[in-house]
Amino acid sequence: MKKLMIMVMAACAIGVTSCGNKQQAPAEQIEAQSGAAIDVEAAFEEAKAQIAEQIEANDASKLQTAIEAAKAKIAEILEQNPEAAKEYVTKVQAFLKENAEKIKAVAGDNAAIGAAVSALTEAPAETIVNTLSSAVGGVQDAAEETAEGMKDAAEQAVDGVKEAAEDAAADAQKAVEDKANAAKEDAKKKANDAIDAAASDAKKALGL
């Protein structure tokens, strides 16, 4: 009886453990999904640090590079999550506007920096993201059309080579046939000439 009770308790313990694991699975899945989410704050802090560093260094060239990198990050985030891209742009816009005077002081006569800042600040975040999204879509369409065009061109080239090879083969075959026919005619003529010569000699021998 005591052994039976121990076995029952062990079975219950196994069942509870199994249930516990099943209950944890969805939570683990949610955690994994959260871990895969885009960290907009981290991306913004990185861009902010790079731009601030060049403002402090008073380096116009590197400041331009940092701002361009912040712009490029928008497209990278957009591919994964448009809403996250809008949030990122909003944060970058706010930072650039807060430091507009410092940026102008470093930029001096560097028009490229002014253009980069204007591109990021003069339109709402949603407009910037939507425009970029359309541009990316257009590039993808153009790439697909180019790929299709290249495929067609390649197929036409292959067909052209095939036709040229077939024409060359036909020409070669005709040349062989022509040469064979010429050889036959020559052999036939020589045979006829030999027959005629033999007949002539025979007539002479007979006194005819």
Q: Which of 111, 135, 159 is the last residue of a domain?
A: 135
Q: Has this prediction a pTM greater than 0.85?
A: no
- My answer on whether 128 and 149 are in the same domain is no
- My answer on whether 154 and 186 are in the same domain is yes
> Could you give the CA distance from residue 3 to residue 101 in angstroms, rounded to a whole number?
83
pLDDT in tens, 64-76: 999 999 999 999 9
Nearest in space to 122 (alpha carbons), one of 109, 131, 110, 134 = 131
- My answer on whether 123 and 155 are in the same domain is no
Segment 24-46 shows an average pLDDT of 61
Q: What is the pLDDT of residue 33?
A: 36
Q: What is the pLDDT of residue 117?
A: 93
**Is residue 70 in some structural domain?**
yes
Distances from the Cα of 37 to the Cαs of 45, 79, 132, 134, in angstroms? Answer: 16, 13, 21, 23
**Is residue 13 in some structural domain?**
no
**Residue holding tokens 């975040």?**
125
Structural domain count, the chain: 2
Residue 201 sits in which domain range? 144-208
**Is residue 74 in some structural domain?**
yes
Q: Which of 118, 135, 152 is the last residue of a domain?
A: 135
pLDDT in tens, 81-118: 999 999 999 999 999 999 999 999 999 989 999 999 99
Q: What is the pLDDT of residue 203?
A: 52
**Is residue 30 in some structural domain?**
no
- My answer on whether 116 and 162 are in the same domain is no
Q: What is the pLDDT of residue 167?
A: 81
pLDDT in tens, 111-152: 999 999 999 998 998 999 999 888 765 445 545 665 566 666
Q: What is the pLDDT of residue 27?
A: 39
pLDDT in tens, 154-194: 577 667 666 776 887 788 788 888 887 887 787 667 756 66
> Could you give the CA distance from residue 170 to residue 174 in angstroms, rounded to a whole number?
6
